[in-house]
A and B are shown apart, each in its own frame.
Chain A
């Protein structure tokens, strides 16, 4: 039986990794890493630019932090020197009694950028734009990972890979070759599922690893080492593990969908809707989803509240996130149940290409 599973996997892996139809899965998996890389290049160039400005207009960070709202232009210049850039907007700020002159003085200490908004010669507001740091970026990564990568990229990647395992062969009219081999249909299903899992996990774990590498690329080696010595390795392992678990969970669902549905759009849309409304489901229903368990395993909590309206926030249902081992067990139970059902469907599978 193991030899047969291995043979099915050999055939399927070649097809899945090198299929022209599956190129878009690679795009989904690696596009975020490319975006992070572009961001890293941009941040590096921006930092170099700030360093050059700071060299030409040196000012200490403490001095910049000592500037308070209400200080006059002369007091600011006396404390921090001439800014590296001044933007003036005569009559640029509307106030009761007419328009007032507005000016923006820009300073940098080489890392952060300070924009002092002066109205009628007095500091009204100070905007400080920090240089990226690992803590801030890891929070951004957590949000992107949970709300884009897991819910969309891995999700649709699994649609493409796992639905193709049976449905694609039906469309190609080549499934009968498998069904004419002396093996139980459950063995065929296991071989195909494992092949899909290996392919999906390889592609998306690589995607996650590349994202993390691109994310940390522009930081000083010292900062990266410190992060790794702290929560770093644990978080990386957790993200990679969650990616594999996402492939395990979504893979089983879309393998079954490929056996049941002719059109992949219908199950994909249905599952996507179910996973998306997970936030608003009662606690008991939340547990019948993949994303509930995956989010519980993510090392950094990503809050969805910020982008939501008041009404949406009121509708959010809170459920105590399960412990890691419970989440993993829950996911495995859901996956196993789906695979058992898929096995029963596979046993009744018939070749009727004419209706495909």
Chain B
């Protein structure tokens, strides 16, 4: 059975306006973050996965199913959209229950699954209240509950952490991890880069409708040759270490800290650098700590797209 979400040379135009262009992707199970500024095409990609928008060109497949077959696809996917709107007059429980009934499930099954989903997002206490009276964070969670209520294999979440307080945010991230560990796809879009760093198994960086980079953060970072990797090394003999490092051809800069506590190193080949550093440690250089400074989404984003998102 196919276990990936694939985009094969997919383009989408809104009249003259470009949504996404020539996107080819294969998304494996795990947590995948779509990262990019407003208008970069994140929501368009998500809408195409869910069949809410169709590609102008190319083909999308979710676990081998075309979005043109909603009767099969929607059993597999759960989508929490960015739209902060709900059918009028419903309580949280009625909302989940009513839309589960659209799946053709029995009354009892819908009641049970609605309760379970609401409990998973910690909304049991508010389930009997009208959604119109919910806070932004509660509305986000009830949307998430609907997305997970039918136990989908692919969870698509557009800015799911917006409006959540820190405690709920951590609980929600834990839920994403749990679902990813169960072998599901959790595809998340976010502006908040440190969160993406924290939760993602892989990232897809988008800019102006194009996929700029995709893969695990470290791999993507390693591919950016224009910006040497920066590593901060705390050690007792920084000048000795700096002189040893200068002998390596991939080290482009080694700068001693003003307080003499360590060395800031810039290298074009992180893997070779770490191997060499291990050798130096074995041969008597005492290292107190090694911290990569720009091996994260924030830096990757800045180098590739040019500027901090938020």
Which of A's residues lie within 8 Å of B, judged by CB?
A: 1, 3-4, 7-8, 10-11, 14-15, 18-19, 172-174, 176-185, 348, 350-353, 355
Instruction: Give chain B residues whose Cβ lies under 8 Å from the Cβ of A176.
Output: 52, 79, 81, 83
Are the CB atoms of B104 and A173 closer together than 8 Å?
no
Instruction: Give chain A residues whose Cβ lies under 8 Å from the Cβ of B86.
Output: 174, 177
Give the tally of cross-chain contacts (CB within 8 A): 82
Are the CB atoms of B104 and A3 closer together than 8 Å?
yes
Instruction: Give chain A residues whose Cβ lies under 8 Å from the Cβ of B78.
Output: 180
Interface SS of chain A: helix
Do A172 and B74 form a contact, CB below 8 Å, given A177-B99, A181-B103?
no
Are the CB atoms of A352 and B104 closer together than 8 Å?
no
Do A174 and B98 form a contact, CB below 8 Å, given A179-B52, A181-B103?
no
Which of B's residues lie within 8 Å of A, judged by CB?
A: 14, 47, 50-54, 70-75, 77-79, 81, 83, 85-89, 98-99, 101-104, 146
Are the CB atoms of B99 and A352 closer together than 8 Å?
no
Complex Cα distance, B87 from A19, in Å, reads 11
Report the minimum CB–CB distance from A101 to chain B (whole Å): 71
Are the CB atoms of A172 and B102 closer together than 8 Å?
no
Are the CB atoms of A352 and B14 closer together than 8 Å?
yes
Complex Cα distance, B70 from A351, in Å, reads 14
Are the CB atoms of B102 and A4 closer together than 8 Å?
yes
Are the CB atoms of B53 and A182 closer together than 8 Å?
no
Complex Cα distance, B98 from A8, in Å, reads 9
Do A174 and B87 form a contact, CB below 8 Å, given A350-B52, A350-B54?
yes
Report the minimum CB–CB distance from A323 to chain B (whole Å): 41
Q: Which residue of B lies closest to A14 (CB)?
A: B89
Are the CB atoms of B70 and A8 closer together than 8 Å?
no
Instruction: Give chain B residues whose Cβ lies under 8 Å from the Cβ of A11.
Output: 87, 98
Are the CB atoms of B52 and A181 closer together than 8 Å?
no
Report the minimum CB–CB distance from A348 to chain B (whole Å): 8
Instruction: Give chain A residues whose Cβ lies under 8 Å from the Cβ of B102.
Output: 4, 7-8, 178, 181-183
Instruction: Give chain A residues whose Cβ lies under 8 Å from the Cβ of B99.
Output: 177, 181
Are the CB atoms of A15 and B71 closer together than 8 Å?
no
Are the CB atoms of A183 and B50 closer together than 8 Å?
no
Contact partner, A352, options B50, B53, B74, Cβ 8 Å? B53
Instruction: Give chain B residues whose Cβ lies under 8 Å from the Cβ of A184.
Output: 70-71
Complex Cα distance, B50 from A265, in Å, reads 32
